[in-house]
Amino acid sequence: MKTAAQENFLMQLKRPILVGGLGLSASLWLLNIVGHSPVGHALGDGSALIGAIALSAGVWFLQKSKRANLTIEAPLALKTVDKSAVEKTLAGVEATLTTLIEALPEERKADCKHAIWTQIEQKKQAISQVLASIEREKLTLAIVGNKSTGKTTLATLLHDQWQPEHSQVTRISEIEGEETLLALDTDLVLFLTTGDLTQSELQRLQSLLRAGYRTHIAFNKQDQLVPVDRQAVVQRIQTRVEDLDIGVSAIAPKPNPITVRRHLEDGTIQEFTEQPAPQIARLTDKLNYLIDNEAQQLVLTTALRQAKALKTDVQQLLNAERQQRAMPIVEQMQWIAAGSAFASPLPSLDMLAATAINAQLIVDLGAVYGQTFSLEQAKKAAGTLAELLVKLGLVELSTQAFGSLLKTHAATYVAGGALQGVSAAYLTRTVGLSLIEFFEEQSVLPTEAQKFAFGAMGDRLQTIFKATKQSMGLQVFVKQALSHLPASEMPASKKAATAA
Ligand SMILES: Nc1nc2c(ncn2[C@@H]2O[C@H](COP(=O)(O)OP(=O)(O)O)[C@@H](O)[C@H]2O)c(=O)[nH]1
Ligand SMILES: [Mg+2]
């Protein structure tokens, strides 16, 4: 069910001539009335603005860092990697670095001592290293598994008995549970388990695959089971990973000592314990096979993983750089929205200004993210976003939330103007942060896969609406917003509305 206000709002949205026809000039006219012209604001009231930017940008970055890192798309079963895939990914990293350099503000571009240049230099070196590594012949292994699954025992045994004959394997490291991160250059993971895979082991395995590690499972301590049960465990593990192209080998690098009884001729029984020989042939056979036949694949898989990690790193650098330019735009637009909503004599003009401001936001943020939108396209998209804000009830939610907060402020502020201003600012902020996230996601896609489906931003708007509320607190926001509204005078129309 729509409320009357929503109905009214939607009716206005359906009048593209009103929304589109007046457009930006109308909102700029409104801004001039309240002395909140974008130019005047950026230059005149600088200190307050910069303070506000610093505060909320900080909050934003914190909130961002909690978000899951960019995930690398990879099907769980690893595919054969060819050299060109690695080279193509690295070319993508180069291109992102170029975009990053172009995105630097002039003064930082000229300042060769700035930290960003060290980072760029490091990434360039990393690109050359990955390229060079394609030809490498040395391999490294890592043994991964929960505590006491026998990693140290196996590593020692391999080190003593197997590695000397396989000098191309230069490192066998041990990784406990989930604590330590695997080195990116690990060519093969030996995943140790002492029985059927538990849920958490399966998850760990999946995350290794998702991260692009070649993996082989070793079912360890098989001596603890009778042969028929060993077979059953191996089969169970195999069914769990059958789609993933992962092998399973049953081993026992240090079987439990066994008691041997011997019947002597004089009728007495002699009992003694014997240490059975290590049973790791199934595993070493597999390792030998991989080293002899798939060394290059292992190296390429590692190189591709490193190239993708590098791409994510560089993308994050670029995102951080772009956010530094994008956030002030959002901040500026949100206070413009506040000013124009505060001053506008009619709610319909609020809407008009809001749509014009959001359209400007789309054009400006798009430019930061390398996307060009015409004003017409942007207005259409802004209309779609405005409609979403109403449909999702976010307009009403913010009015309610700020309405009760504003009651605690000075009496003059318990006025429609302030409420509309603060609300408009908050909604503009929500739209701005959502656009930033949206553009970031689009920018990692190849051009042909980019879709600027603004109508599909509903979930994102809702999430960010809530997240901003939690991270910065509405009280803080109200304080900031009020400091951007004219302090003493209130438009006559709003006074009348309050009195009524
Ligand atoms: N029964 C049996 N026990 C083993 C085997 N390999 C290792 N263990 C024992 O498992 C325990 C944990 O081994 P350890 O190598 O320290 O495990 P880590 O914590 O994974 O490094 C030790 O008591 C080992 O003696 C095996 O093949 N069979
Ligand atoms: Mg250990």
Domain range annotation of the chain = 4-67+344-499, 136-298
pLDDT of residue 86: 95
Cβ atoms of 290 and 298 within 8 Å: the answer is yes
**Residue ID of nearest Cα to ligand 1 atom 25:** 254
Cβ atoms of 50 and 424 within 8 Å: the answer is no
Cβ atoms of 286 and 246 within 8 Å: the answer is no
Sign of CA dihedral 235, 239, 242, 248: negative
pLDDT digits over 408-422, tens only?
A: 665 555 466 888 888
pLDDT of residue 29: 40
pLDDT of residue 349: 64
Q: Report the pLDDT averaged over residues 201-212.
A: 89
| φ/ψ (deg, to 5) at 424 | -60, -40
More confident: 147 or 407: 147
**Residue ID of nearest Cα to ligand 1 atom 10:** 150
324-to-54, 317, 445, 477 alpha-carbon distances in Å = 10, 11, 21, 20
pLDDT of residue 16: 29
| Dist. CA 442–CA 447, nearest whole Å | 9
pLDDT of residue 498: 45
Q: Is the pLDDT of residue 487 over 80?
A: no
pLDDT of residue 410: 57
Mutate which of 148, 159, 175 to test ligand 1's pocket (most atoms within 8 Å of Cβ)? Answer: 148
Q: Is the pLDDT of residue 346 over 80?
A: no
Amino acid code (one letter) for 175: I
Q: Which range has the worst mean pLDDT, 282-296, 297-311, 329-343? A: 329-343
Q: Is the pLDDT of residue 147 over 90?
A: yes
> Cα(154) to centroid of ligand 2, in Å?
9
Q: Which of 191, 257, 255 is nearest to 218 (CA)?
A: 191
Q: Is the pLDDT of residue 318 over 70?
A: yes
457 CB-near residues (< 8 Å, 6+ apart): 385, 388, 434, 438
Q: Is the pLDDT of residue 6 over 50?
A: no
- For residue 322, how many other CB atoms are within 10 A of its CB? 21
What Rg, from alpha-carbon coordinates, does the chain have?
Answer: 32
pLDDT of residue 58: 36
Chain centroid offset of residue 360 CA: 26
Cβ atoms of 56 and 472 within 8 Å: the answer is yes
Of the bound ligands, which one is closest to the alpha carbon of residue 256? 1
Ligand 1 pocket, residues with Cβ under 6 angstroms: 145, 147-153, 220-221, 223-224, 252-256
Q: Is the pLDDT of residue 54 over 50?
A: no
% of the chain surpassing 90 pLDDT: 51
Of the bound ligands, which one is closest to the alpha carbon of residue 193? 1
Q: Report the pLDDT averaged over residues 225-242.
A: 92
Mind spelling out the 3-state secondary structure of the chain?
A: CCCHHHHHHHHHHCCHHHHHHHHHHHHHHHHHHCCCCHHHHHHCCHHHHHHHHHHHHHHHHHHHHHCCCCCCCCCCCCCCCCHHHHHHHHHHHHHHHHHHHHHCCHHHHHCCCCHHHHHHHHHHHHHHHHHHHCCCCCEEEEEEECCCCCHHHHHHHHHHHHHHHCCCEEEEEEEECCCCCCCCCCCEEEEEECCCCCHHHHHHHHHHHHCCCCEEEEECCHHHCCHHHHHHHHHHHHHHHHHHCCCEEECECCCCCEEEEEECCCCCEEEEEECCCCECHHHHHHHHHHHHHHHHHHHHHHHHHHHHHHHHHHHHHHHHHHHHHHHHHHHHHHHHHHHHHHHCCCHHHHHHHHHHHHHHHHHHHHHHCCCCCCHHHHHHHHHHHHHHHHHCCHHHHHHHHHHHHHCCCCHHHCCHHHHHHHHHHHHHHHHHHHHHHHHHHHHCCCHHHCCCCHHHCHHHHHHHHHHHHHHHCHHHHHHHHHHCCCCCCCCHHHHHHHHC
pLDDT of residue 75: 52
pLDDT of residue 485: 83
**435 exposure class (CB count in 10 Å sphere: 0-12, 13-18, 19+):** buried
How would residue 44 be classed by pLDDT, with cut points 50, 70 and 90? very low
- Looking at ligand 1, which atom is closest to the CA of residue 220? 27
pLDDT of residue 469: 78
% of the chain surpassing 70 pLDDT: 78
Q: Report the pLDDT averaged over residues 255-273.
A: 90
pLDDT digits over 352-404, tens only?
A: 778 889 999 999 999 999 999 998 999 999 999 988 998 999 988 888 888 88
Question: Any bridge partners for residue 144, and if so which?
Answer: 175, 191
| Dist. CA 216–CA 190, nearest whole Å | 5
Go through 402-414 and write b for each residue having 16 or more CB atoms within 10 A of its CB, e for each that does not.
Answer: beebbeeeeeebe
pLDDT of residue 348: 61
pLDDT of residue 177: 73
pLDDT of residue 176: 84
Q: Is the pLDDT of residue 305 over 60?
A: yes
> Cα(151) to centroid of ligand 2, in Å?
5
Sign of CA dihedral 244, 249, 250, 252: negative
pLDDT of residue 149: 96
Q: What is the CATH number of domain 136-298?
A: 3.40.50.300
pLDDT of residue 416: 64
> Cα(223) to centroid of ligand 1, in Å?
11
389 CB-near residues (< 8 Å, 6+ apart): 395, 427, 430, 431, 461
> Cα(173) to centroid of ligand 2, in Å?
10
pLDDT of residue 446: 81
Q: What average pLDDT is seen over the chain?
A: 81
- Looking at ligand 1, which atom is closest to the CA of residue 251? 27
